């Protein structure tokens, strides 16, 4: 198939592009390098050094003999979106291209506004371009389990059957997002579902849990194919962050009581889930939701697993939770649809954690202990709201647009 990966320079987007290319699909990637610009703004960097997109594409061609077509631009630029779809003529679009950090969206007003404009407007432009050019294109959109929040009932896959005053209906599952980033994902979901209903589009919304890991079969083929590895307090995902903290001799910083439960999955399973969604497309007019995670763990369980595996001494430190969330909560979420399509998951094991620790040890000299500390507080007073943070990274200063790379909200920690 012809598959266009939006946010194809990012943590998940780049490995996805390689995986689909190696599996025989004709792949194009779209990015504006905004994710790299957030590093400049935050004063941090990927633990694992990453090559430029141009270098990555060249190296992939050299290593595999396969070609990936790069498109550089901004999803909030409707003309760019229209021209890219017309040039590549995709059969499927994998949409990672959003600002994906909950803490980043909560820095202050300007970062919240930037996150929602970038994410929601970019997706709207994409929906219009698909509707106008080729409604048969299958949109595979990365959502987040964070859309649901932590309700005191079981979480279903997108929809729930409601009985009310003697009548029944199947309705979208109620959403309780925990940040302005997660809210942007909820808005996306509503807009996509609406477009499928009124324009006959077809879409799969993948509500992904927190991703861990850094290496895949394809990224391991050459150092210049490596994807990023974030450990800082704004973009670092929780298990990756714990492993880096252990190697750095830094306490594993568990937010609050540590009883909060998160859905998790291996980066290799993200690639498998994307391919399953692409090769088993939704029907015309269908909006479907898959919950994309394989296991659930509390923060305390994750910290304990890292402590057990790491060969040295590890301190676990409970710190004030910078987020506003329930410390104790029920969490039981359905995730059967991808398994029904054939997903064979990689379960979290000591061997997996050892691999993450090995990556951290290899690049130990790149660890910045100052970057680990959480710096963004959900609880703001009027005075802190007036002075918090700095302006978001301005892509125009780098001569490109505002479309972002993968992630993870999709991979928030």
Strands 252-255 and 316-319: parallel
Residue 144, beta-bridge partner list: 208
Catalytic residue among 84, 185, 204, 337: 185
The Cα 106–Cα 305 span in angstroms is: 29
Is residue 185 part of the annotated active site? The answer reads yes
| Whole-number Cα distances in Å, 28 to 6, 9, 348 | 8, 11, 31
The Cα 299–Cα 263 span in angstroms is: 11
Catalytic residue among 76, 84, 115, 144: 144
Q: Which long-range contacts link 182-185 to residues 24+ away (Cβ below 8 Å)?
A: 182/102, 182/144, 182/146, 182/147, 182/409, 183/116, 184/98, 184/99, 184/105, 184/115, 184/116, 184/119, 184/120, 185/98, 185/119, 185/143, 185/144, 185/146, 185/147, 185/409
H/E stretch holding 184 reads: helix 180-199
List the structure tokens of 351: 């061997």
Catalytic residue among 38, 173, 181, 310: 181
Which one, of 281, 271, 263, lies nearest residue 92 by Cα?
Answer: 281
Q: What are phi and psi of 45, to 5 degrees?
A: -155, 160
Opening angle at CA 6, ends 101 and 31, nearest 5: 80
Is residue 144 part of the annotated active site? The answer reads yes
Is residue 253 part of the annotated active site? The answer reads no
Query: Would you name the residues annotated as active-site residues?
Result: 144, 181, 185
């Amino acid at each position: 198939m012809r598959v266009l990966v939006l946010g194809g320079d990012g943590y998940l987007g780049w490995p996805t592009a390689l995986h689909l290319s190696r599996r025989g699909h004709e792949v194009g990637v779209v990015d504006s390098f905004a994710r790299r610009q957030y590093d400049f703004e935050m004063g941090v960097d990927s633990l694992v050094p990453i090559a430029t997109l141009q270098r990555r594409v060249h190296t992939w061609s050299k290593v595999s003999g396969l070609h990936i077509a790069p498109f550089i631009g901004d999803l909030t630029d409707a003309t760019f979106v229209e021209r890219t779809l017309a040039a590549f003529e995709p059969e499927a679009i994998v949409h990672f291209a959003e600002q994906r950090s909950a803490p980043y969206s909560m820095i202050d007003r300007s970062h919240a506004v930037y996150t929602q404009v970038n994410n929601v407007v970019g997706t709207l432009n994409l929906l219009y371009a698909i509707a106008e050019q080729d409604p048969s294109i299958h949109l595979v959109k990365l959502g987040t389990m964070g859309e649901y929040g932590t309700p005191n009932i079981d979480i279903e896959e997108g929809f729930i059957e409601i009985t009310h005053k003697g009548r029944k209906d199947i309705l979208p599952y109620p959403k309780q997002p925990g940040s302005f980033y997660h809210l942007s994902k909820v808005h996306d979901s509503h807009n996509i579902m609406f477009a499928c209903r009124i324009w006959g589009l077809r879409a799969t919304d993948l509500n992904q849990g927190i991703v861990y890991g850094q290496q895949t079969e394809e990224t391991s083929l050459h150092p210049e194919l490596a994807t990023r590895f974030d450990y800082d307090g704004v973009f670092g995902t929780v298990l990756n962050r714990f492993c880096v903290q252990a190697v750095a001799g830094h306490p594993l910083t568990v937010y609050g009581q540590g009883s909060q439960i998160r859905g998790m999955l291996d980066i290799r399973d993200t690639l498998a889930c994307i391919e399953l969604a692409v090769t088993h497309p939704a029907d015309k007019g269908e909006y479907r939701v898959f919950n994309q995670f394989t296991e659930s763990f509390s923060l305390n369980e994750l910290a304990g697993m890292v402590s057990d595996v790491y060969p040295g001494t590890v301190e676990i430190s409970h710190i004030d939770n910078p987020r506003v969330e329930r410390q104790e909560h029920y969490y039981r979420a359905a995730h059967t649809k991808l398994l029904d399509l054939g997903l064979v998951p990689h379960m979290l094991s000591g061997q997996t954690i050892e691999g993450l620790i090995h990556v951290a040890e290899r690049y130990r000299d790149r660890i910045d202990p100052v970057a680990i500390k959480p710096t963004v507080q959900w609880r703001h007073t009027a005075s802190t709201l007036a002075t918090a943070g700095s302006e978001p990274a301005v892509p125009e200063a780098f001569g490109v647009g505002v479309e972002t790379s993968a992630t993870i909200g999709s991979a928030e920690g």
